[in-house]
Amino acid sequence: MRVLGNSPTLFAVLIVCLLLHVVEAQDEVRERTGAHLFARQLSCSKQKGIESKSKSDPVGAANDVLKIKDVLEADGDLWFSNNLVSGTGDDEQVPWGHGAEFKPTPAALGNYLSGYALIPDSFNGFKLNRSMVFRTEGSKSVKVPFYVNANYDADSIERVVLIWPGQWRDSWKYINIMGNAQRVAETHDQLNIDKSKILLISPMFFNQKDADSGAAGDDELYFKNAGWAVGDTSRGPSGFTNVSSFEVMDFFLDHIFDKSNFPNVKHAVMAGHSMGAQATQRYALFGKPKKAYRDNISYWIGNPGSYTWLDEKYYNSSSSCDSASKWPFGFDHAPKYAEKKAKNKESTISRYGDRRILYSFGLNDNGGQSDRCAPNTQGPNRLARGALYVKSLKSVFGDFPSNQLVDFVECVSHQDYPMMAKFRTLEFVFSSRTD
């Protein structure tokens, strides 16, 4: 008190500082409530700093994420997977859409829980192609339907974006929002997009409920539940019960790089968000694209809910969970398609370090806690899992892999289109080079 008593100036300065602090804290509260921020989410301005750091220093940015208050707490009640972008974030243009036209996704009949009766056929410059024969055994053939641009000149295609659906098996939606993202990319002059050179393809992964409800035709491949996302085998039609969903992607990559289909193609980008991102990460690790074009593929992985984890060091050691080391979370008990690569764990991981990958994580994507122990062993929520995964990449490879990039996206939650329309995703998906 003596110091203060003797120094009215210092006292005044302290009071002003205190007041400023209160004002700042109030601003923070306003920003949080006004923009629907919830516990364990930084203000957007603080998130911006992490986003820009992630461009040059992925591991430093991951460390910043892990310092967010309580981000590693497993207490589910306080989590809220909220959206800062209006609507669901995939039904209208985002603020960073650069004035591009946004075309809404058409509706399907049915839903992913009870099965689809009818899926969209033709919309917004895309169409459903149901004539692609995937395999023939004896006198029977099986087809895999896929969405693709309605009009294109195969001779001019140089880049194909191959898109997984999300949990809803909604390939029509994913090709449509990727089409919207492409229109945003076209407005960025520095990306120099020539749309005549780009083709989008999104195969359908039906399941047994779609076969029962009518959307899947008698000669069309279907899987069981969500097994398609982790390389499981098909369940029908009869005669075709042993096809891995990853073989379907091998098939499409073969189709894309076959010069008799696309004489000038040089690059394929496999892309997925959420469950599609889980599929993409696992395909990047266990997929078997041919060597001739293996290095011409890059992978966009947006907001996955879990990973095939590379490094037990980054498991949550306080969780005792046997299934954490088992497929699809670990390398044990891999399905037939991935058996050999899972057995050769070291070389499989080492090759994964060469893959060209952009991981995009929404900094508000702090939901996704699981009922199962294995995803929780990777972290208590999607954002934490992503940050821990980024750290594990450095620990596994010594340095962070030079072909891999990270984008922690400011103030976006578990929102597919807002993630796709971000500049760094656009740059990676539509204009990055392979050499």
For ligand NAG, the closer of residues 164 and 315 by Cβ is: 315
Is the Cβ of residue 31 or residue 73 nearer to ligand NAG in the bound state? 73
Dihedral in degrees, nearest 10, Cα atoms 173, 177, 183, 188: -160
* CB 279, CB 338: distance < 8 Å: no
- Give the separation between CA 129 and CA 6, rounded to whole angstroms: 84
Q: Which is nearer to ligand NAG, 129 or 187 (by Cβ)?
A: 129
Determine the Cα–Cα distance for residues 411 and 428; give it in Å rounded to an integer: 20
Cβ 25 to ligand NAG shortest distance, Å: 26
Between 234 and 415, name the residue whose CB sits nearer to ligand NAG.
234
Alpha carbon 323 to its chain centroid, in Å, reads 23
* Structural contact between residues 423 and 255, judged by C-beta atoms closer than 8 angstroms: no
The window from 50-58, 115-123, 128-136, 341-349 that contacts ligand NAG (CB under 6 A) reads: 128-136
Q: Which residues within the stretch 348-387 sit at the binding site for ligand NAG (CB under 6 A)? A: 379-380
Identify the H or E element spanning 351. helix 345-352
Contacts with ligand NAG, 13-52, as mask; x by CB under 6 A: ----------------------------------------
Residue 63 touches ligand NAG, criterion: CB under 6 A = no
Minimum gap (Å) between residue 130 Cβ and ligand NAG: 7
- Partners of residue 202 on adjacent β-strands: 147
Among 359, 435, 431, 433, residue whose Cα is nearest residue 393: 359
Considering only 32, 46, 224, 266, the residue that binds ligand NAG (CB under 6 A) is 266
Whether residue 106 contacts residue 123, with contact meaning beta carbons closer than 8 Å, is answered with: yes
Q: Quote the least distance from Cβ 430 to ligand NAG, whole Å.
A: 15
- Supply the minimum distance, in Å, between the C-beta of residue 142 and ligand NAG: 11
Helix (H) or strand (E) run with residue 102 in it: none
Instruction: Please name the residues in contact with 39: beta carbons below 8 A apart, sequence gap of 6 or more.
Output: 70, 78, 79, 80
CA 193 to chain centroid: 22
Q: Minimum distance from CB of 94 to ligand NAG (Å)?
A: 31
Among 35, 38, 63, 74, binds ligand NAG (CB under 6 A): 74
Site for ligand NAG in 268-327 (CB under 6 A): 292-293, 296, 316, 318-319
Q: Give kind and range of the element (H or E) at residue 406.
A: strand 404-409
> Which one of residues 6, 56, 137, 139 is an interface residue with ligand NAG (CB under 6 A)?
137
Binding footprint of ligand NAG on the chain (CB under 6 A):
72-74, 129, 131-132, 137, 242, 257, 266, 292-293, 296, 316, 318-319, 379-380, 434-435
